[in-house]
Homo-oligomer: A and B are copies of this chain.
Amino acid sequence: MSPVTLKSIAKATGYSITTVSRALGGHTDVNEETRRRILQVAQEMGYQPNLVARQLRSQRTYTIGLISPSYMYSHEDDFFALLIKGIGRAAARHQYDLLLSSHLHGDDEMDAYRRIVGGNRVDGVIVARTYRDDPRIAYLKSLNHPFVVSGRNAPGLPNDFPFIDADSQLGIHMMVSHIVSQGYREIGLILPPDDLAFTGYRLAGYRDGLAEAGIDYHDEYVIYGDLTLESGYQAAKTLLARAPQLTAIIAANDLMALGAMRAVQEQGFHVGHDFAIGGFDNIPAGQHTSPSLTTVSQPIIEIGERLAEMLFQIIEGETPADNGLLIEPTLVIRASTNHAHNQP
């Protein structure tokens, strides 16, 4: 009835706790016959090692942590779900578990990090959704605790930590070039909040694209949203009121793009014919909208997998081959920017 421990197996077999531990641990210095006996008794008694005790003694948890605000990774935001999927895959391969700590919206995120990391609950953490000069990264570096970052610092700031990020500057650049190639030249942009690190890259990519096409940049063509569909809708309405000559809008994520699409359609435009909409993320919903959404795709699941692999290497004390990895995104052209896609 009471939990079966090394001690109880020791008592049952007549061997010491040490020997039982070594036998089960597969050490060489235990007689083959005694190991057989011990293994069998352990089996019969249904022994399961107490992982917490093992963690305490060995100072290893075989667990990695992901800390997230509780309102994220939802259908409003597939990003976390996909990242978790990739991480989970890699973790399963390496026999690690994933500790997911959600903190309430108002709470200080740093507290969660201090608790989990300082509390020795994980061997490493994955930091996602980076801010400009992210304090979480500073904290982890000061502790010299293994971590990897999904994302990176804002443009111009140092990236002296292991990270993987999509080259979203290039992604938006490709999007602009494509939209220009379709004949649209008055292009608006809906950006994420300014404290997110990647916002600067998306703006830079936009300017790159315009410059390449020889189009002037106008401040009033750019507006900030908060990544939700609703905010995309509002932003597009504001943008159109402010600059009615617009014939295209690029949003920094698909959700805002879908909101923008709705706003634009309400204004009587025929998206894909007289107006272009471009997104970023390639969320599943974008395939099924009408018109389907042209977007920039980043392989989030794969990024999650590679991040985890990278973290495992760091935990094991190896130096990962790529300490900062920029992934080239791909442009997925669909009907919202392209006549040819419109009638299948």
Contact = CB atoms under 8 A, between A and B. Distances in A.
Interface stretch (A17-25, A71-79, A317-325): A71-79
A115 interface: yes
A259 to B, nearest CB: 12
A114 interface: yes
Contact of A61 (B52, B97, B104, B116): B52
Interface stretch (A165-173, A200-208, A245-253, A283-291): A283-291
Given A48-B118, A119-B50, A288-B290, A92 B84 contact: no
Contact size range, A: 35 or more
A101 B93 contact: no
Nearest to A258: B288
A35 B75 CA distance: 47
A157 interface: no
A184 to B, nearest CB: 23
B288 A121 contact: no
Contacts of A277: none
Contacts of A84: 73, 81, 84, 100
A99 B100 contact: yes
B70 A89 contact: yes
Nearest to A289: B288
B93 A104 contact: yes
A138 to B, nearest CB: 14
Interface in A244-291: 258, 283-290
A88 interface: yes
A91 interface: yes
Nearest to A49: B119
A283 B284 CA distance: 10
A98 B102 contact: yes
A215 interface: no
Contact of A81 (B55, B70, B74, B290): B74
A99 B63 CA distance: 9
A56 interface: yes
A98 B88 CA distance: 13
A100 B100 CA distance: 7
A11 to B, nearest CB: 19
B48 A115 contact: yes
A51 interface: yes
Nearest to A286: B288
A313 to B, nearest CB: 19
A340 interface: no
Contacts of A286: 288
B301 A74 contact: yes
25 contacts: A48-B119, A50-B56, A51-B116, A51-B119, A51-B121, A52-B55, A56-B56, A70-B88, A73-B85, A74-B81, A74-B82, A75-B284, A78-B81, A81-B84, A89-B102, A92-B102, A92-B104, A97-B101, A98-B99, A284-B284, A285-B285, A285-B287, A288-B288, A288-B289, A288-B290
Nearest 6 interchain pairs by C-beta: A48-B118, A51-B119, A81-B81, A88-B102, A288-B289, A92-B102
Interface of A: 3, 46, 48-53, 55-56, 61, 63, 68, 70-71, 73-75, 78, 81-82, 84-85, 88-89, 91-93, 97-104, 107, 114-116, 118-121, 258, 283-290, 301
